[in-house]
Amino acid sequence: MDSFSSPSPGSSQQMSAQDLKKQLQSQLALEYAQQFLETVRGKCFEKCITKPGSSLSGSESSCISRCVDRYIEATGIISKALFGGSQH
């Protein structure tokens, strides 16, 4: 038995394996979210801000909103196509 599978009382400084896993997972999730955000930003800038004006117009804002929704939807469609089990 090691101290991680059976945390001894009093060793509050020591991190349990469970805590370590959770911490790693949340770091990975954060990393993934940041990457996703960066991609969406690039894609929607390309689509919606075709001629940058002195301020963001209403139509640009609503384009961005739709673009973000569609990109998330597209991610779902791709994911389903790859791992949903259907073959075309």
User: How far apart are the C-alpha atoms of 81 and 75, rounded to whole Å?
Assistant: 10
Show the binding pattern over residues 31-50: x = contacts other proteins (CB under 8 A), - = does not.
-x--xx--x---xx--xx--
Selected binder of other proteins within 30, 37, 56, 81 (CB under 8 A): 81
DSSP string, 26-49: HHHHHHHHHHHHHHHHHHHHHHH-
**CB-based burial of residue 12 (10 Å sphere; 0-12 exposed, 13-18 middle, 19+ buried)?**
exposed
Is 21 one of the binding residues for other proteins (CB under 8 A)?
yes
Minimum CB–partner distance for residue 68 and other proteins (Å):
9
- Residues 43 and 71: beta-carbon distance below 8 Å: yes
Contact positions vs other proteins (CB under 8 A): 2-5, 13-15, 17, 20-21, 24-25, 28, 32, 35-36, 39, 43-44, 47-48, 63, 66-67, 69-71, 73-75, 77-83, 87-88
